[in-house]
Homo-oligomer: A and B are copies of this chain.
Amino acid sequence: MDFQKVIAVATRRGIFQSAFDAYGGLAGFIDYGPVGVKMRRRILETWRKLYVIDAGCLELDGALIGPEALFQASGHLGEFDDALVNCEDCKKQFRADHLVDGGEEMSRDELAKAISGMACPGCGATLSEMTSFNLMFSTGVGAGKGLPGYLRPETAQSIFLAFPWLLRQNRGKLPFAAAQIGRSFRNEISPRQGPLRMREFTQMEVEHFFLPNEEPLLSDDLRDVTINLLDANGKETSSTVGEGFDEGIIGSSLVACHLARAQKFLTTIGVPDKKLRFRQHGSNEMAHYSSDCWDGEINTSLGWVEVVGVAHRGDYDLSAHGNASSKEFRVAVPGTEKETEVWVPDIGKLGKEFKGDAKFILEAIRDVDLQPGFSVDVNGSKIELTSEYMSQKTERRSEMVYANVVEPSFGLDRILYCLLESSWKSDGEREWISLPQETSPYDLLVAPLMTKDGLDDKAHEIMKSAIDIGVDAYYDEAGSIGRRYARADEIGIFFSMTVDHQTLEDGTVTLRERDSKDQNRLSIEDALNKVRR
């Protein structure tokens, strides 16, 4: 199936449509419909099972709008931009790297040289000089012009900023991993390609934190995962993750873990192994703070599409926020405790001064590294705790370091697109989406042969039983059974059940399996047990 066909089927069958067409359209925004929402949820459930439940990640759901200082510290205000050229004649705007062959690999200087004097592909006039365009959506928070704020360009920053809080939830211990599913935003200059390049998209990201000298090892169950690797030297291998790591192709044991997990996740939801590869970044492509970085890519009609990045980010993000903010982003190194002077609250004085509020102050400073000047929110106003409310004493304290992090980062919209394309089957007679039951939008079509003689009532009754045991069932009574099968196939419903006159007599139904078209006559109970995941 090619791109246009995916878009047409998706629009027709309620998977997704481009948003705002009624108002002339706005490129880079999509609405997901009833079938698309179900497919997305099933992909997310599989991801959550693997990362949050099995791997025990702490899940976060952070705010989408953030203040300027955050994105100043993260580097996004300074560096998260595209090279832009305008045509002053026809007013069109272009990404400079899309106008030059191999532009995406060029430095900004090389690009500027290549663009210089170039004619507008739209109208032929000479293009203006190249400028930089920051890809964050900006807004103002509060009345008037408001404080400058930005829509987050990645969910990751919410996790980094919440690190001290999450660390406390993990009782101060490393390693731990935090996961987040949520919207992110990039103000692309001229997005094409529907769900492959969006201005608003859904990410699933994990930040796996560890002490610099205690990187988690590659576990035995992940060692054995087979994977296609394309290393930075252009060498392709298909081997186990363990072999890739032992041979030094994969540079970090935790990166190796997450390549294996990503492979497991993507094949579980239905990406064919032979269409999936992990491509290592070369040193020119990799961020300066990263020591090893891989893109998980799926082969589509439009070429290889990146759906996940796995990167070793060192301590870049945590130290950036530690240096720029008022919070402690470091962690205590176990075994390095020694006697240290620390500040402790003077409970008597706090009680005298703040009366009933004192207990909220004590609650708020319970886990913090208290210092004179620490401020606390009480009933909406800030109270600064000067040194008169505390005293010094000697305690055993540890050496503090910044944790390192490995990040797998998935793009849900692209994954769904690639799945639709790769799972489309056609045998000349019919066309169907062939996904595993886990990611099919519905487990079961319930179809009465006709809407009389009580067949529809019986079908509704079966629907209810199916729903009660957790089967995601879809009811369809319109048109011939053949047409209903065809519609069910087109959105990949895994099983179809036909209710006919015999059902009323002996309680049996016909159960059809989507991929094989095999039909079996079964009791309602046996059929539902087969369908149940």
Contact = CB atoms under 8 A, between A and B. Distances in A.
A481 to B, nearest CB: 17
Nearest to A188: B142
A26 B367 contact: no
Which range holds the interface residue count of chain A?
A: 35 or more
A142 B187 contact: yes
A478 interface: yes
Query: What's the number of copies of this chain in the assembled complex?
Result: 2
B20 A146 contact: no
A225 B478 CA distance: 34
A24 interface: yes
Given A22-B325, A22-B327, A70-B23, A60 B84 contact: no
Contacts of A28: 141
A58 B32 CA distance: 11
Interface in A232-283: none
Given A22-B325, A67-B20, A33 B166 contact: yes
A8 interface: yes
A171 B363 contact: no
A363 B12 contact: yes
Interface in A39-67: 40, 53-54, 58-67
B378 A20 contact: no
B63 A37 contact: no
B327 A65 contact: no
B84 A61 contact: no
B65 A199 contact: yes
Nearest to A8: B363
A324 B12 CA distance: 24
B187 A146 contact: yes
A29 interface: yes
Contacts of A327: 21-22
A322 to B, nearest CB: 9
Nearest to A166: B33
A64 B12 contact: no
A345 interface: no
A284 interface: no
A119 interface: no
B33 A169 contact: yes
A158 interface: yes
Given A23-B325, A29-B65, 11 more contacts: A8-B363, A12-B363, A18-B377, A22-B164, A26-B63, A26-B141, A33-B166, A33-B169, A34-B59, A40-B61, A139-B139
19 contacts: A12-B363, A17-B162, A19-B63, A20-B63, A20-B67, A22-B161, A22-B164, A23-B70, A24-B67, A24-B326, A26-B141, A26-B147, A32-B60, A37-B59, A53-B472, A65-B199, A93-B142, A93-B144, A141-B199
Q: Which 3 A-B pairs have the closest CB atoms?
A: A22-B325, A29-B63, A22-B327
